[in-house]
């Protein structure tokens, strides 16, 4: 009966974690609306001043090259090639902005850790990223994509430290979970969770199997404030389509 309907009424005002909401939705066989299907490409910035005005809500997606960031974005937005899944990782060093609506954006941060990027360029981007984290006021949180088989590399630790310093929530996607059996995947999740600073969370994910997609959407809906206000005033509009 409730199938296919969004559960805004239940979610509003409940100070529950995304995980509990996901469980709630599943228990009642309700489907989550995915507003990220509306994402469209806006621009690619080589410098911070090329970014859209620092207003509204931005969520950044970061990860080492080849971790599976583009695939995660494509699955999240249900668009096959919105973020390019590249065979030459780390080639493009730019911040790519996708828009959900005029006040909500995804910032696809440059893949980092790719050995073939010249040292000077790496150092430059390290600085740009640090400044982005320190100054971007509309930044609501960071989704940090890691290959579940190679979690918490030095670059990831760096990113976590920046989030921690900026007081930003960081949500880790342990992706390519389909490459591991359930037991080892859960063991890695527990290990990673134990190592995280306060304010950071983690989940397993697979772009190939869409594992964890619903949990991710529920968390991001909270970050973007889709569930904050009553229907019809424009800000809290659920938008998008059922997952």
Residues that bind ligand GDP (CB under 6 A): 63, 65-71, 85-86, 89, 111, 175-176, 178-179, 206-208
Instruction: Tell the smallest beta-carbon distance from residue 168 to ligand GDP (Å).
Output: 20
C-alpha angle 169-229-100 in degrees, rounded to nearest 5: 60
Pick 139 or 146: Cβ nearer ligand GDP: 146
Instruction: Tell the smallest beta-carbon distance from residue 219 to ligand GDP (Å).
Output: 18
Pick 211 or 222: Cβ nearer ligand GDP: 211
DSSP reduced 3-state for 24: helix
- Phi/psi for 2 (5° steps) reads -85, -10
Whether the Cβ atoms of residue 220 and residue 205 lie closer than 8 Å to each other: no
Q: Which residues contact 22 (CB under 8 A, 6 or more apart)?
A: 32, 214, 215, 218
Pick 75 or 100: Cβ nearer ligand GDP: 75
Whether the Cβ atoms of residue 90 and residue 111 lie closer than 8 Å to each other: yes
Instruction: Tell the smallest beta-carbon distance from residue 113 to ligand GDP (Å).
Output: 10
Sole residue written with tokens 């509990």? 20
Pick 30 or 202: Cβ nearer ligand GDP: 202
Pick 206 or 222: Cβ nearer ligand GDP: 206
Instruction: Tell the smallest beta-carbon distance from residue 178 to ligand GDP (Å).
Output: 5
Instruction: Tell the smallest beta-carbon distance from residue 1 to ligand GDP (Å).
Output: 33
37/45 Cα distance (integer angstroms): 22
């Amino acid at each position: 009966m409730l199938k296919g309907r969004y559960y805004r009424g239940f979610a509003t005002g409940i100070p529950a974690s995304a995980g509990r909401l996901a469980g709630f939705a599943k228990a009642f066989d309700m489907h989550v609306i995915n507003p990220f299907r509306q994402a469209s490409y806006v621009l690619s910035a080589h410098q911070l001043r090329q970014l859209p005005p620092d207003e509204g809500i931005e969520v950044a997606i970061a990860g080492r090259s080849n971790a599976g960031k583009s695939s995660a974005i494509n699955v999240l937005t249900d668009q096959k090639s919105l973020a390019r899944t590249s065979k030459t990782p780390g080639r493009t060093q730019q911040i790519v902005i996708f828009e959900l609506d005029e006040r909500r954006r995804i910032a696809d941060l440059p893949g980092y850790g790719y050995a073939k990027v010249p040292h000077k360029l790496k150092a430059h981007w390290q600085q740009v990223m640090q400044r982005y984290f320190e100054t971007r006021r509309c930044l609501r949180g960071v989704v940090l994509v890691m290959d579940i088989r190679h979690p918490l590399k030095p670059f990831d630790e760096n990113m976590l430290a920046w989030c921690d310093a900026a007081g930003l929530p960081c949500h880790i996607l342990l992706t390519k979970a389909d490459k591991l059996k359930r037991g080892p995947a859960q063991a890695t999740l527990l290990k990673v969770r134990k190592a995280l600073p306060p304010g950071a969370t983690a989940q397993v994910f697979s772009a190939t199997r869409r594992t964890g997609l619903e949990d991710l959407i529920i968390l991001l809906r909270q970050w973007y404030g889709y569930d904050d206000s009553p229907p019809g005033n424009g800000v809290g509009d659920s938008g998008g389509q059922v997952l």
